[in-house]
Amino acid sequence: MVLENFFVPSLYVIKGIIILDNDGNRILAKYYSQLFSTVKEQKQFEKSLFNKTHKGSGDVILLDNLTIVYRNNVDLLFYVVGSTNENELILNAVLTCLFETLNTILRKNVEKKFLYENLDLVMLIFDEICDNGILLESDPILIAQRVQLRQDDIPLGEQTVSQVFNHAKEQIKWSLLK
Higher-confidence position of 150 and 175 = 175
52 in a structural domain? yes
169 in a structural domain? no
Q: Give which of 169, 167, 171, 124 is closest to 30, Cα–Cα.
A: 124
Domain of residue 141, residue span: 14-152
Query: If residue 141 lies in a helix (H) or strand (E), which one and from where to where?
Result: helix 140-152
Q: 26 pLDDT exceeds 80?
A: yes
Q: What is the CATH number of the domain that holds 94?
A: 3.30.450.60
24 in a structural domain? yes
Cβ atoms of residues 80 and 96 within 8 Å: no
167 in a structural domain? no
Q: 21 pLDDT exceeds 70?
A: yes
**Cα gap 5→109, rounded to integer Å:** 45
58 in a structural domain? yes
Q: Mean pLDDT across the stretch 141-170?
A: 69
- The predicted structure's pLDDT at residue 85: 84
Higher-confidence position of 76 and 157 = 76
Of 26-30, 61-65, 150-154, where does mean pLDDT reach its minimum? 150-154
76 in a structural domain? yes
| Structural domain count, the chain | 1
172 in a structural domain? no
Q: Mean pLDDT across the stretch 57-64?
A: 83
171 in a structural domain? no
- Structure confidence at residue 1 as a pLDDT band (50, 70, 90): very low
Cβ atoms of residues 14 and 127 within 8 Å: no
Q: How many alpha carbons lie under 13 Å from residue 78 in its C-beta half-sphere?
A: 23
**Cα gap 90→69, rounded to integer Å:** 10
